[in-house]
Structure 1
Amino acid sequence: MWLNSILETIGNTPMIELNKSVKGLPCKVLAKVEYFNPGNSVKDRMAIKMVEVAEKEGLLKPGGTIIEGTSGNTGMGLALAAINKGYKCIFTTTDKQSKEKVDILKALGAEVIVCPTNVEPEDPQSYYSVSRRLAQQTPNSFYVNQYDNLANRLAHYEQTGPEIWEQTEGKITHLVVASGTGGTVTGTGKYLKEKNKDIQVWAIDSYGSLLTKYYRTGELDTKEVYPYITEGIGEDFVPQNFDMQYIDYFEQVTDKDAAIMARKITKEEGIFVGYSAGSALQGVFQLKDKLKKDDVVVVVFHDHGSRYVGKIYNDEWMMERGFLEVKTLKDIISGRKDNKLIAIDPDQSVVEAVELMKKFDIENIPVKNGEEFIGSISESGLFQKIFANPELKNEKVSAVMENPYPIVPIETPIEKGSHLISRENGAILVSDELGNHHIVTKFDFIHSFAQ
């Protein structure tokens, strides 16, 4: 039996028990993997619900334009609805969102306007303000406003909550949701607490968001707000979709810890998750002292990791922010007893080069003319050339030298530096902060990988 449209595939996402990534936790942890929705995120549920409610209430008319401020995922759900229902889409987003999200929205036919992140919500440049202004200026348009549109949390009350209850056979003791608009945590939490008032609902927040302090004190403290990198969670205001009576605890997670945990989930479970899933599971670890052996924790994994391949799944991006601790060429060099570079002049003889190799027990020597590296000598290259022509041993080094070694910065990751080693090129030169040079050979890389 076939389906009438892609929209009919929304919901009924799988529940998967976590294994390796949750070692150290005392209880069973289940993941509600929402990237199985057609738009690859939990936001598909509320996107279609908000559209359906707007249609029913006459707010969205045939041929109309859907306008929304989105971190990406809600926009994708709305775009899927628009394609199948004949609407246009204009979305505003922030410059901290991944390029992949923006590109996908455009691929789905939406117009996307990127706005600055580091401005107040009321600022005319904010993606909230721009989306509201566009809705006022665009004829036959509907401003979705996922933050205050209560159809958001209604979708999760009607769908996500019942699914989790049935999939756990009512055994769930804790629901953990990384929260932004408040729709998922409130709607799902409300349903589950109506089934069992003892179920604990934990909202996971990001440092730089004011939601946690607001929950704990009731104070809207803008001093809590500062730029952060984690996408899709936390806010600099309190959306109306939040109903704090259904939340038992708020916990904040750093950008770094969230990114590292997301990568850990992907690597150890084979579940390719997005940034906020890392926040959610990291929150569970931070609150593990509140858990008992027989607890059943359900963690919502909001979206798919493909939207973050240029960010948390990119080693260079992670290293630039100090999120990834990797070995660099500096680790190889600092571990040596003697870092003096042995080089040879192009006018010296091949015999002298061989004597240097014997004396220092080395196989690769850079050829240096003054301050410039112009070539190299290798034991294997010399052997081949002298074997073919024994008279070359009396020639100058310049007659037998090979190409100069590549020169790279000392902070280059070891794995990246190793890619410069080949059959023809057995070493690289490393430039340190003082302008000195050091040689790193094939043997050095093999030794570092074996440690």
Structure 2
Amino acid sequence: MNYAKNILETIGNTPLVKLNKITSEIEATVLAKLETFNPGNSAKDRMAVKMIEDAEVDGRLQPGGTIIEGTSGNTGMGLALGAIIKGYKLICVITDKQSKEKMDILRAVGAKVVVCPTDVEPTDPRSYYSVSKRLSTEIPNSWYVNQYDNPSNAQAHYEQTGPEIWEQTQGKITHFLVGVGTGGTISGIAKYLKEKNPNIKIWGIDTYGSVFKKYHETGIFDENEIYSYITEGIGEDILPKNVDFSLIDGFTKVTDKDAAVYTRKLALEEGIFVGNSSGAAVKGVLQLKHHFKPEDVVVVLFHDSGSRYVGKIFNDDWMRERGFLEDDVTKAIDLIKDHVDKPLVFVRTEELVSHAIERMRKYKISQIPVIDITGFVGSLDETDLFQSYIENKDVADKPIREVMGKPYPIVKENTPIDEVSKLITKDNQAVLVELENGKHHIITKYDIIGSIK
């Protein structure tokens, strides 16, 4: 009989699959290493088990102990599998930008999940780096994994993933690309491949808001490059010890939007249902296409499964809110189609200013049209209201007709966006759209900005 003694024995030997449609503009052969075929659905299974086993050998992890780690979710899943089979407890410290699916999956396999804010300095006591370290000092018989600086991370890929890629390509690989986070995957694989053939080019995929690319090119750790980004699993605001920059030939940065869009393209065009960093990786391949010759063999590693991102990347509403969907926005009606069924919020001339302020707060709006029995006769803007209040503290008790501005221009629903944009000026903050059914909606400058691709 042919079977694995436990789930950990199924880790590794993931397939290499040729990409076709999404890379049609590249003459080289582009192959994807699909790490989602690991039992925990990511490349992190390999290093998670390796780190546990090495810690067992040197005594850092004792029987019945608690494993503690800061993770974007995938390492936590790998550690959870190891903890279940080997009898350890697990605490995963995760940032609040990670998908709900990742958190739910970790809890499903027995991990305790601690959520920390994303937008804090690494040294901040609230950061997931700091919380992980603190918990490991407070909890008896615990071991802090520290995947960023743990050499077993890169060693796992040196021993497993690198040899697999070399054997699967029969040594014909010329380029290897992968998203860089902790650095273990790229450094371990790069070390093995360059030992086999020093001419193999290694490219890291970075994201905007991360320090890797500039540091590799200049040696400067530029804190001005650090800002919040959406792409999960790649990029850092620190320099992990596992990132061996001497093994990396170059980096290319991919935007949050491109990473998300190409993650969906992989599913729709190749039938490959993978995660956010994989979209970034394949976009990185396309950005570097001028480096590849027709006879080259390019391998790109796809880290994890699309199941981790169903509520985000594969959710139209989430994508649309961030301007990531490639919707064709050309007319006034296109700007309001997501909320066309909602009634227009307005105030009447004889209502008090306090009523308008209350309505603005309730609906979180900055502009509001004013009507009387004849139709639209004025407008209110939060900036103007604020200025009126500065001049007269009793303005809240005045009727709206005494402080209102000019009525907003009214356009038809098929009016081109360019014409709508011209109507929004410093003195006129919104435009009303008249629908075919006679109802009206409001368009503000923020709607226009949100339509820009």
Q: TM-score range by the shorter chain?
A: 0.7 to 0.9
Residue equivalent to 1:71:
72
Contact 2:332 2:433 (8 Å CA) reproduced: no
Structure number with larger C-alpha Rg: 1
Q: CA deviation at 1:437?
A: 3.1
Contact 1:186 1:243 (8 Å CA) reproduced: yes
Residue equivalent to 2:158:
157
Measure, in 2, the Cα distance between the counterparts of 1:227 and 1:116: 11
Q: CA deviation at 1:435?
A: 6.0
Residue equivalent to 1:146:
147
- Output aligned runs, 1:27-176, within 5 Å: 27-176=28-177
Q: Does 1:438 align with 2:436?
A: yes
Measure, in 1, the Cα distance between the counterparts of 2:154 and 2:330: 51
Measure, in 1, the Cα distance between the counterparts of 2:257 and 2:330: 23
CA RMSD after TM alignment: 2.0
Residue equivalent to 1:240:
241
Residue equivalent to 2:444:
none
Contact 1:47 1:74 (8 Å CA) reproduced: yes
Alpha-carbon spacing, 1:241–1:433, altered in 2? closer, same or farther (3 Å): same
Contact 1:209 1:234 (8 Å CA) reproduced: yes
Alpha-carbon spacing, 1:175–1:371, altered in 2? closer, same or farther (3 Å): farther
Q: Does 1:206 align with 2:204?
A: no
Secondary structure in structure 1 of the residue aligned to 2:267: helix
Q: CA deviation at 1:438?
A: 2.5
Secondary structure in structure 1 of the residue aligned to 2:176: strand
Measure, in 1, the Cα distance between the counterparts of 2:3 and 2:241: 38
Measure, in 1, the Cα distance between the counterparts of 2:225 and 2:182: 18
Contact 2:208 2:229 (8 Å CA) reproduced: yes
C-alpha deviations, 1:173-218, integer Å up to 9, x for none? 0000101000000000000000000000000100000111111111
- Output aligned runs, 1:17-28, within 5 Å: 17-28=18-29
- Where do 5+ consecutive residues of structure 2 fail to align? 336-372, 376-412, 415-429, 439-453
Measure, in 1, the Cα distance between the counterparts of 2:22 and 2:138: 49
Secondary structure in structure 2 of the residue aligned to 1:229: coil
Measure, in 1, the Cα distance between the counterparts of 2:247 and 2:122: 26
Q: Does 1:308 align with 2:309?
A: yes
Secondary structure in structure 1 of the residue aligned to 2:54: helix
Residue equivalent to 2:264:
263
Contact 2:214 2:222 (8 Å CA) reproduced: yes
Residue equivalent to 2:254:
253
Residue equivalent to 1:279:
280
Q: Which AA in structure 1 matches 2:177? A: V
Measure, in 2, the Cα distance between the counterparts of 1:37 and 1:183: 17
> Percent identity between the aligned chains?
63
Secondary structure in structure 2 of the residue aligned to 1:32: strand
Alpha-carbon spacing, 1:438–1:190, altered in 2? closer, same or farther (3 Å): same
Secondary structure in structure 2 of the residue aligned to 1:21: coil
Residue equivalent to 1:443:
none
Q: Which AA in structure 1 matches 2:150? A: N
Residue equivalent to 2:368:
none
Q: CA deviation at 1:152?
A: 0.0
Q: Which AA in structure 2 matches 1:95? A: D
Measure, in 2, the Cα distance between the counterparts of 1:434 and 1:245: 58
Q: Does 1:195 align with 2:193?
A: no
- Structure-1-length-normalised TM-score: 0.75
The number of residues matched between the two structures is 348
Q: CA deviation at 1:316?
A: 1.0
Contact 2:191 2:247 (8 Å CA) reproduced: yes
Q: Which AA in structure 1 matches 2:240? A: P
Alpha-carbon spacing, 1:439–1:248, altered in 2? closer, same or farther (3 Å): same
Measure, in 1, the Cα distance between the counterparts of 2:77 and 2:101: 12
Q: Which AA in structure 2 matches 1:276? A: S
Q: Which AA in structure 2 matches 1:437? A: L
Alpha-carbon spacing, 1:31–1:132, altered in 2? closer, same or farther (3 Å): same
Contact 1:72 1:97 (8 Å CA) reproduced: yes
Secondary structure in structure 1 of the residue aligned to 2:264: helix
Contact 1:333 1:438 (8 Å CA) reproduced: no
Measure, in 1, the Cα distance between the counterparts of 2:159 and 2:111: 28
Q: Which AA in structure 2 matches 1:38? A: P
Contact 2:276 2:309 (8 Å CA) reproduced: yes
Q: Which AA in structure 2 matches 1:149? A: N
Q: Any runs of at least 4 consecutive aligned residues in structure 1 with deviations exceeding 4 A, and if so which?
A: 327-334
Contact 2:175 2:297 (8 Å CA) reproduced: yes
- Where do 5+ consecutive residues of structure 1 fail to align? 335-369, 373-409, 412-431, 441-451
Alpha-carbon spacing, 1:113–1:162, altered in 2? closer, same or farther (3 Å): same
Q: CA deviation at 1:333?
A: 7.5
C-alpha deviations, 1:304-326, integer Å up to 9, x for none? 00111111111111111111122
Q: CA deviation at 1:290?
A: 1.1
My pick for the range that moved more, 62-71 or 18-27, is: 18-27
Secondary structure in structure 2 of the residue aligned to 1:326: coil
Alpha-carbon spacing, 1:439–1:53, altered in 2? closer, same or farther (3 Å): same
Q: CA deviation at 1:150?
A: 0.4
Measure, in 2, the Cα distance between the counterparts of 1:303 and 1:317: 20
